[in-house]
C-alpha cells in the first residue's frame, strides 16, 4: 500500500510529463508491492503531485537554482507499511524513483541524479486505515495478491516476530500495538 507524494517547483512538469511520470511511478509502486500487478494492487498505488511555488522550494538557502541540476529539483516521499522492505528493497526504491524522474525530465538519459531526494516513511503497523477501518500489513498483502508463502512475506513475518520478542523482553504492555495481529508480545519468547 505505498503512496508517493512528488513535490516539485511550479512549471517543472507539464501535464504530459506528469502523466508519463505517474505511469512510471505507478510501475515502481507495483514493483514495491512485490510485483502485485493486480486490480487491487493498482488500487493501492497512489501517486500525488504537489506543485510548489518557486519561493516555497529552497535548496542551499536559495530559490534561484544555484544548487539545482538542469532537470530540476524533486522531493519524493514514499509512504510504506513498516517492516515491508528490507535494506535492499529500500535501495531499489530509491534508485527506481530517481530513474523514473530523470528519464521523464531528461529523456536523453544524460542528466545527473542530484536534485532528486527520495525519503521512505514507514507507517507503524496498526496506523494505516482505509474505509474507516484499521488495516494490517497482513490484510494488505492478501488484498493485493501477495503470497504469504513467498520470500518477501517470510521476511516481513520474521521482522515482526523479532519485534514481538523485543517488545516482550522490554516489558511493553500487550496492547501497545505495532505488531501483526497474528502476533502477541509473547510470540517466540
> What separation in angstroms does the CA of 110 have from each of 54, 69, 104, 105, 115?
25, 11, 12, 10, 14
The grid cell for 20 is 508519463
Give the whole-angstrom CA distance, residue 1 versus residue 81.
7
In the structure, what pLDDT confidence band is assigned to residue 78 with cuts at 50, 70 and 90? Answer: very high
- What percentage of residues in the chain have a pLDDT greater than 90? 31
pLDDT digits (tens, 9 = 90+) for 42-61: 888 899 999 998 888 888 88
Give the whole-angstrom CA distance, residue 45 versus residue 25.
9
| Residue 119: φ, ψ to 5° | -120, 125
φ/ψ bin of 60: left (φ > 0), alpha (ψ from -120 to 50), beta (otherwise): left
pLDDT digits (tens, 9 = 90+) for 87-136: 999 999 999 999 999 888 886 655 566 788 999 999 988 888 888 888 88
- What percentage of residues in the chain have a pLDDT greater than 70? 89
Amino acid at each position: 500500500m505505498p503512496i508517493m507524494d512528488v513535490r516539485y517547483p511550479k512549471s517543472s512538469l507539464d501535464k504530459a510529463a506528469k502523466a508519463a511520470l505517474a505511469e512510471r511511478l505507478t510501475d515502481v509502486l507495483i514493483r514495491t508491492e512485490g510485483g502485485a500487478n493486480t486490480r487491487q494492487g493498482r488500487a493501492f498505488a497512489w501517486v500525488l503531485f504537489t506543485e510548489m511555488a518557486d519561493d516555497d522550494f529552497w535548496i542551499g538557502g536559495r530559490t534561484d537554482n544555484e544548487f539545482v541540476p538542469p532537470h530540476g529539483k524533486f522531493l519524493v516521499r514514499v509512504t510504506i507499511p513498516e517492516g515491508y522492505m528490507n535494506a535492499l528493497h529500500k535501495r531499489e526504491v530509491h534508485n527506481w524513483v530517481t530513474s523514473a524522474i530523470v528519464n521523464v525530465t531528461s529523456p536523453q538519459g544524460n542528466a545527473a541524479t542530484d536534485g532528486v531526494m527520495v525519503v521512505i516513511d514507514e507507517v507503524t503497523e496498526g496506523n494505516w486505515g482505509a474505509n474507516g477501518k484499521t488495516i494490517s500489513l497482513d490484510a494488505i498483502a492478501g488484498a493485493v495478491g501477495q503470497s504469504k508463502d513467498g520470500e518477501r512475506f517470510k521476511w516481513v513475518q520474521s521482522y515482526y516476530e523479532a519485534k514481538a520478542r523485543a517488545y516482550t523482553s522490554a516489558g511493553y504492555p500487550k496492547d501497545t500495538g505495532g505488531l501483526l495481529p497474528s502476533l502477541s508480545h509473547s510470540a517466540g519468547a
